[in-house]
Structure 1
Amino acid sequence: MKSNLTQLTHNLVLIGGGHSHAIVLKLWGMNPIPGVHLTLITDRTHTAYSGMLPGQVADFYSFEDTHIDLRCLTQFAQANFYLDTVKDLDLENKQIICEEHPPIAFDYLSIDIGSVPAKNSILGASDYAIPAKPVSQFLTAWEKIKTTVESHPKQPYNLTIIGGGAGGVELAFNMRTCLTNILENVKEKIDKLTITLIHKGDGLLTGHNHWISERLQFLLLENGTNIYLNETVIEIKANSSRNYTINCSSGLEIRSDWVFLVTQASAPQWIEKTGLRTDKKGFILVNNYLQSVSHSYIFAAGDIATIENYSRPKAGVFAVRQGQPLFNNLQSIILDNKLQAYSPQKLYLSLIGTGNKKAIASWGKLSLEADWLWTWKDNIDRKFMKRFKDFSPMESQIKNNNFIPCNGCGSKVGISILERTLKRLKIDQNSEIVIGLNSPDDAAIIDISKQELLVQTIDYLPIFVSDPFIFGQITTNHCLSDLWAMGAKAHSVSAVVTLPYGFDSIIEEILYQLLQGCLKILSKNQIFLTGGHTLQGEKLGFGLSCNGFILPNQILQKSGMQTDEKLIITKPLGTGTLLAAEMKYKTKGYWIDNTIKSMLLSNKKASEIFLKFEASACTDITGFGLVGHLIEMMKSSQVSVELNLDKIPTLIGAIETSKQGITSSLYPKNLENNTYLNSEQDMENNPKFSLLFDPQTSGGLLASIPEKNSDRCLQELVKAGYTDSQIIGKVVKKSNNISCLLT
């Protein structure tokens, strides 16, 4: 019998989501090598395209226009996405040292982490200046500045840019455009806005021709920018929380509310400590194959790399040009093919925007100023970004029909199938089983002693996030949640793991990352891993058999709800639709970041708070969705409920994906429970309605709380970190039939 399964044979890791690596990932998705375990490690989910950054500062472009969604891109490349910051390399053991993950092994490595403005020569720059890179930090600071000006438009403002290269000049133009528009919109005078540019050279844009320098200087002066040439900044001193003094070696002093650093590029300090050969400035030295001159299994591109025997500026155009040859050589070294040489061009075109949707072109000794250059530049930039937004061909390759089975808790079978199957079985229960299949709950309870009861549960999930370290943490939280829902104290777990087929070294690395994630959660809660079982299959899967103990008078069951009690939920809904949408390239990376953050939040403390405030019943919201689990509570308690749909918390992006009709593969089965719902008006058009049936992975707890305690309970939950907690309804007497009234 033929098998389509592929063994994992090579472990390739990319550090950094720069322009070169973005191109590599797109090309890899179009031309993958079977058996390569590809991973991207990056400290950000969205990476900015530098060519459009000045336009974003001027508000010509939105965040989505200028940023590449790296989660979406890695999925297209069938790669793993690790959100973390690299701080060192262990080249002897071929391992990457990160801030959060355990050491990550690799066979081949590529580095594209960009550069940062040099600030060691300026005293106080590290504390008081806003560097232009990393871009994410710069944009966060810029948004705060815009908000300040919008909130207090009558005040005078001073902004100073240190560095008169292309980056500094474009920021000066585009910052003025943005802030001027803000002030003019509220009919405030713009003469209170002062922008200053300080440059240590005798002309702007060092390295470009004289006409460009003179022309841009004239335009800046014309729009009111102060320019200081031949000035070297030596210190930035703080006068107050938002006012600084900039001291130059000449004795010049400038007062400024904000200081931006757009100086000469420098390399992150950790690179030099790794043992990789670098140039005098600390950048990785590579040959014409973009291959480290000291370690042949390591490649580097973009600003972080210096090609031996070539003197080129640190400009985004080179990072873009290096994407294709880097991709070719990464695949060639894996396939044991001859590497292809890359030679950077001597001249490169610069299109410098002047903040008014106009641009000036610079190419060697040639220059051109024309209105149409901005339109040309805009078309070039948008065409480049379009490459990273259209993944429809890949989607059609994955599935030829509309059914895409979900992972996580969305992969469960429907509750109706379970109920019908259990009714057909004859299952014996003895007197020691306090809670079992005859009265199903979140976990089984067995009487093993006169003091404590044994609580047992088991759960298992196929992988739903590509990072096994994060997957291990979320799944451990998910599995333990049944114990927390019962009010139990967890004691120990046994693991079951399905590992993909592959070479021993790669399988060992996946298992190591997975179990380290599991142990991170277990150690926080003083729970012991006692053993487990492994097997190999098509994809990674992980589950835990969990054991705990509980006192007979502290059991939280589904069956304890009392009339007039309040219903409190501790986490927002939406993991099912968001994870399904991610598979179809219909999410934004930061939506998934937020979803993962929610799934990483343990329910342990919430359980303790519910016990403190005398919860009468509790369950965790998982695969059957809010309504499915609520119905279980209503049936076993013989009550009905009123549910306030508007109060139900939802994850960022969940309503958007639901409106698009994107649901988990378990959703249709969960939707069968809508027969228990009724309302005085049409609620099906409410954007939150479909989320009632959305299967949750590592979802929150739902508890019934005495009304007198509900407000204080909610306050303590929020204080404990369950910031999305809400009172979503109340328990009422059932009439003829058990029902859930939507209000």
Structure 2
Amino acid sequence: MQSGDAAILKDLVLIGGGHSHVAVLKRFGMNKLAGVRLTLISQDAQTPYSGMLPGLIAGHYAFDEAHIDLGPLCRFAGARFYQDEVTGLDLEGRVVLCRNRPPVRFDVLSINIGSTPRTADVPGAAGNVVPVKPISRFIAQWEALRERVLVTRDRVRIGVVGTGAGGVEILLATQHRLRALLAEGGRPDDHLDYYLFGNADEILPGHNAGARRSFERVLRERNVQVLTGQAITEVASGRLRRANGETYDLDEILWVTSAGAAPWLRASGLSLDAQGFIEVNETLESVSHPGVFAAGDIAAVIRHPRPKSGVFAVRQGAPLALNLRRSLLGRTLRPFRPQRRFLSLISTGDRYAVASRGRWSREGRSMWQWKDWIDRRFMRKFSELPDMAVAKPPEFATGLADAAALGEISAIAMRCGGCGAKVGSTVLSRVLGQLSPIGRPDILIGLDAPDDAAVVEVPPGKMMIHTVDYFRAFVDDPYIFGKVAANHSLGDIFAMGGEPQSALAIVTVSYGLEAQVEDQLFQLMSGAIEVLNAADCALVGGHTSEGAELSLGFAVNGLADRARLMRKGGMRPGDRLILTKPLGTGTLFAADMRMKAKGRWIDDALVSMVQSNRAGAACLHHHGATSCTDVTGFGLLGHLIEMTRPSSVDVTLDLASLPFLDGALDTVRMGIFSSLQPQNVRLRRAIRDIETASADERFPLIFDPQTAGGLLASVPAEQAEACLAELGTLGYDRAAIIGTVMPQGDALEPITLCR
């Protein structure tokens, strides 16, 4: 009998990694709700903290100091993290529509996607200005501006549109940073001109007179031209026009105006205000759709309107988390009343700030230190996550599930093994009905007309290659896991010079209610089908069962010409060794499980893991590869030993040439390794002069087990550079020549490491 402890009763989906949602994730991590599956959908793996953006631009903070890493935070919260762009909602079907993945179902939904400056209000603004939000895109464009200023000696005119606190801070931070960078090179900044535009009659509308006077003085001292009282009526490339007819030629236009809402909300069916923001009541729940919540800039609290400011998003985090929990449990929601007055700490770019609250204001370096202390304290809440105790078997809270759901869960708790563990035929048929596996003429019986088994035809003159791989999920996104698992399973076929023909899936999905099981299976197989179809591999059947952990594998058949077949043996002295992908997936995902890996490291690893080896294998074969294998669980050294033995050769491996995934050396320095690492390290006896070689910090990564790793091949020396160049054009931009095949010597150890 199987336990029902892992059963899922309801799905809570968060759209956006904004200030409110990071607080929700932290609170759900501190107090998990058994039976709830939590999912975050966000375009960015690292969400910027708006309060530290001016400091980041000014150079006072490093990137990581000003960003909350959503990967470890989701791991802490037990949440699945889907990195994608949301394009719409189907509220009747209760699914979120995404740009690059299948729809995501929800029972309770929360939206915290922030806002963007409105460019559609001014003709020509869209495409000709740099909006300050979304911040992640703004940072990339700011870096391009910075590099351009550093290399030119021409006059550069920089304009900021928006005289609120955000516009003033961004302008002064930009000026401070560019002046400091030019000074480092011994250059003045007298070729830079700054303009501040606004339609209000004065800067900082909504702030007190003392704060305005402080910034009017600072702007005068910094030689910033302040042009207020006229709206911007038109923008063209490098030029803007004001309502009074004046035009200004500008080399860069930064747009920090009134906030606007995401366009896809217009078609969502949610009740919106005149500006397109989601109307919510005092509980932060949509006034039109129960079970849908919104917070931060994207929300319009109809009884308590407030400015679009990060301070309100931060304060809404706790009440939002409470009401999401109460909504899941079917309890009455709690109203929340935002404060009317709040403290503003506005920086001048140079570790100096002005404080403002009500009629009170004060300025000085101590005010910046105060702001810095507040901001860093906020960030520590999401970077210094507590270690969690070992989870106890869950007891479902009253109200989370009705009698029918509890009855189904009781059945799960007594779910049989054997064939009784299979996913029901109704669920399976519904999922298969939504998938579109490719067809092939040599598939005689497949999923289009299912029978007891698939039947495939082997074309004359072809040899059949068989392989199987299966492993449990190491990422919380079943769609991405499906892509990686399928890609990994195809690797052996490509490594041997074959083309995949058919695949049988072996699937284990987590226990849960029928709807949750169906959704998980659909997400998983949608990712897998994308990869299989792209490889011209027909999914012809498989076996699907329920279990404690999500797992997936494939038995794949491939076809190959005898003359084209590549083996592990066949290396020849003088050949160069080429590795097509970087190393490090084992240590990175071990670190991710411990919440020690940065989100961008995991992103980099996943991009590598979903890259197919198909084009790489064809390239290697074209350049006369003498042997080939894919680098997977045994690590680089283990697979290299498998190649040297049947080839009767030795190998010199250059540690300095090995490509590594971003962050892999960092996690090795932390002492974090895959659970398979110790077994792989036993192969160190194949290395000569082990004591000297092991002193290199890169040494442990030759044992690191890889998932969906690259191809390792020996190529004739005269072809190696051309092969490497072609691999780069095919997208294997970190492929490298990592060593040389040598004649077999007298030493027992076949591998020599060079540093």
Fold equivalence (TM over 0.5) = yes
SS at match of 1:128: coil
Alignment of 1:469-508 (within 5 A): 469-508=479-518
> 1:405 aligns to what?
none
Report the AA paired with residue 375 of structure 2: D
Report the AA paired with residue 136 of structure 1: S
> 2:184 aligns to what?
185
> Is it true that 1:258 corresponds to 2:252 in the alignment?
yes
> Is it true that 1:294 corresponds to 2:304 in the alignment?
no
SS at match of 2:142: helix
Note closer, same or farther for the CA distance 1:292–1:449 as it changes in structure 2 (3 Å cut).
Answer: closer
> 1:459 aligns to what?
469
Alignment of 1:239-318 (within 5 A): 244-318=238-312
Instruction: Tell me if the contact between 1:53 and 1:66 (Cα under 8 Å) persists in the aligned partners.
Output: yes
> Is it true that 1:336 corresponds to 2:330 in the alignment?
yes
> Is it true that 1:195 corresponds to 2:205 in the alignment?
no
Instruction: Tell me if the contact between 2:156 and 2:193 (Cα under 8 Å) persists in the aligned partners.
Output: yes
SS at match of 2:40: strand
Alignment of 1:658-697 (within 5 A): 658-679=668-689, 682-697=692-707
SS at match of 1:534: strand
Instruction: State the alpha-carbon separation in 2 of the partners of residues 633 and 608 from structure 1.
Output: 19
Unaligned runs of 5+ in 1: 239-243, 400-445
Note closer, same or farther for the CA distance 1:681–1:662 as it changes in structure 2 (3 Å cut).
Answer: closer
Instruction: Tell me if the contact between 1:638 and 1:738 (Cα under 8 Å) persists in the aligned partners.
Output: no
Instruction: State the alpha-carbon separation in 2 of the partners of residues 42 and 236 from structure 1.
Output: 31
> 2:101 aligns to what?
101
Instruction: Tell me if the contact between 2:684 and 2:690 (Cα under 8 Å) persists in the aligned partners.
Output: no
> 2:354 aligns to what?
360
Name the stretch that deviates more: 620-629 or 603-612.
Answer: 603-612
Alignment of 1:383-398 (within 5 A): 383-394=377-388, 397=390
Deviation track 1:614-637 (CA, whole Å, cap 9, x = no partner) reads 211110000000000111111122
Instruction: State the alpha-carbon separation in 2 of the partners of residues 4 and 95 from structure 1.
Output: 26
SS at match of 1:742: strand
> 2:60 aligns to what?
60
Report the AA paired with residue 461 of structure 1: F
Instruction: State the alpha-carbon separation in 1 of the partners of residues 328 and 728 from structure 2.
Output: 51
Note closer, same or farther for the CA distance 1:373–1:564 as it changes in structure 2 (3 Å cut).
Answer: same
Report the AA paired with residue 179 of structure 1: L
Deviation track 1:480-504 (CA, whole Å, cap 9, x = no partner) reads 0010011111001000111111111
Unaligned runs of 5+ in 2: 393-455
Instruction: State the alpha-carbon separation in 2 of the partners of residues 28 and 63 from structure 1.
Output: 26
> 1:217 aligns to what?
216
> Is it true that 1:381 corresponds to 2:391 in the alignment?
no
> 2:138 aligns to what?
138
> 1:440 aligns to what?
none
Aligned-pair CA distance for 1:321: 0.4
Instruction: State the alpha-carbon separation in 1 of the partners of residues 249 and 526 from structure 2.
Output: 51
Name the stretch that deviates more: 260-269 or 608-617.
Answer: 608-617
> 1:413 aligns to what?
none
Note closer, same or farther for the CA distance 1:450–1:516 as it changes in structure 2 (3 Å cut).
Answer: closer
Alignment of 1:691-710 (within 5 A): 691-710=701-720
Alignment of 1:610-625 (within 5 A): 610-625=620-635
Note closer, same or farther for the CA distance 1:23–1:449 as it changes in structure 2 (3 Å cut).
Answer: closer
Report the AA paired with residue 348 of structure 1: F
1:740 corresponds to which of 736, 751, 755: 751
1:372 corresponds to which of 366, 371, 378: 366
> 2:48 aligns to what?
48
Aligned-pair CA distance for 1:81: 0.4
> 1:416 aligns to what?
none
Instruction: State the alpha-carbon separation in 2 of the partners of residues 488 and 708 from structure 1.
Output: 25
Note closer, same or farther for the CA distance 1:112–1:450 as it changes in structure 2 (3 Å cut).
Answer: closer
Instruction: State the alpha-carbon separation in 2 of the partners of residues 273 and 707 from structure 1.
Output: 59
Instruction: Tell me if the contact between 2:688 and 2:749 (Cα under 8 Å) persists in the aligned partners.
Output: no
Instruction: Tell me if the contact between 1:490 and 1:527 (Cα under 8 Å) persists in the aligned partners.
Output: yes
Aligned-pair CA distance for 1:133: 0.2
> Is it true that 1:711 corresponds to 2:721 in the alignment?
yes
Instruction: Tell me if the contact between 2:118 and 2:260 (Cα under 8 Å) persists in the aligned partners.
Output: yes
Instruction: State the alpha-carbon separation in 2 of the partners of residues 369 and 52 from structure 1.
Output: 18
Instruction: Tell me if the contact between 2:508 and 2:547 (Cα under 8 Å) persists in the aligned partners.
Output: yes
> Is it true that 1:123 corresponds to 2:130 in the alignment?
no
> 2:569 aligns to what?
559
Instruction: State the alpha-carbon separation in 1 of the partners of residues 310 and 479 from structure 2.
Output: 33
TM (norm. structure 2) is: 0.89
Instruction: State the alpha-carbon separation in 2 of the partners of residues 546 and 373 from structure 1.
Output: 64
Report the AA paired with residue 168 of structure 2: V
Instruction: State the alpha-carbon separation in 2 of the partners of residues 230 and 356 from structure 1.
Output: 28
Instruction: State the alpha-carbon separation in 1 of the partners of residues 268 and 86 from structure 2.
Output: 12
Aligned-pair CA distance for 1:210: 2.8
Name the stretch that deviates more: 560-569 or 81-90.
Answer: 560-569
SS at match of 1:476: helix
Note closer, same or farther for the CA distance 1:621–1:522 as it changes in structure 2 (3 Å cut).
Answer: same
Instruction: State the alpha-carbon separation in 2 of the partners of residues 693 and 371 from structure 1.
Output: 51
Instruction: Tell me if the contact between 1:639 and 1:738 (Cα under 8 Å) persists in the aligned partners.
Output: no
Instruction: State the alpha-carbon separation in 2 of the partners of residues 678 and 164 from structure 1.
Output: 67
Instruction: State the alpha-carbon separation in 1 of the partners of residues 335 and 72 from structure 2.
Output: 30
Note closer, same or farther for the CA distance 1:512–1:283 as it changes in structure 2 (3 Å cut).
Answer: same
Aligned-pair CA distance for 1:553: 1.7
Instruction: State the alpha-carbon separation in 1 of the partners of residues 366 and 752 from structure 2.
Output: 61
Instruction: Tell me if the contact between 2:15 and 2:42 (Cα under 8 Å) persists in the aligned partners.
Output: yes
Instruction: State the alpha-carbon separation in 2 of the partners of residues 174 and 398 from structure 1.
Output: 46
Note closer, same or farther for the CA distance 1:222–1:740 as it changes in structure 2 (3 Å cut).
Answer: same
Aligned-pair CA distance for 1:369: 2.5
> 2:149 aligns to what?
149
> 1:412 aligns to what?
none
SS at match of 1:24: helix
> 1:319 aligns to what?
313
Aligned-pair CA distance for 1:190: 2.7
Report the AA paired with residue 493 of structure 2: L
Note closer, same or farther for the CA distance 1:530–1:180 as it changes in structure 2 (3 Å cut).
Answer: same
Aligned-pair CA distance for 1:260: 0.3
SS at match of 1:100: coil
Structure 1 vs Structure 2 CA RMSD: 1.7
1:516 corresponds to which of 526, 547, 562: 526
Q: Report % sequence identity.
A: 41
Instruction: State the alpha-carbon separation in 2 of the partners of residues 39 and 317 from structure 1.
Output: 25
Instruction: Tell me if the contact between 1:494 and 1:529 (Cα under 8 Å) persists in the aligned partners.
Output: yes
> 2:411 aligns to what?
none
Aligned-pair CA distance for 1:738: 5.1
Aligned-pair CA distance for 1:378: 0.9
Instruction: State the alpha-carbon separation in 2 of the partners of residues 708 and 90 from structure 1.
Output: 58
Instruction: Tell me if the contact between 1:49 and 1:67 (Cα under 8 Å) persists in the aligned partners.
Output: yes
Instruction: Tell me if the contact between 2:32 and 2:77 (Cα under 8 Å) persists in the aligned partners.
Output: yes
Report the AA paired with residue 532 of structure 1: G
Aligned-pair CA distance for 1:20: 0.1
Instruction: Tell me if the contact between 1:290 and 1:299 (Cα under 8 Å) persists in the aligned partners.
Output: yes
Aligned-pair CA distance for 1:2: 9.8
Alignment of 1:380-459 (within 5 A): 380-394=374-388, 397=390, 451-459=461-469
Name the stretch that deviates more: 218-227 or 568-577.
Answer: 218-227
TM (norm. structure 1) is: 0.91
SS at match of 2:273: coil
Instruction: Tell me if the contact between 1:123 and 1:236 (Cα under 8 Å) persists in the aligned partners.
Output: yes
Aligned-pair CA distance for 1:215: 2.7
Instruction: Tell me if the contact between 2:687 and 2:749 (Cα under 8 Å) persists in the aligned partners.
Output: no
Instruction: State the alpha-carbon separation in 2 of the partners of residues 361 and 469 from structure 1.
Output: 47
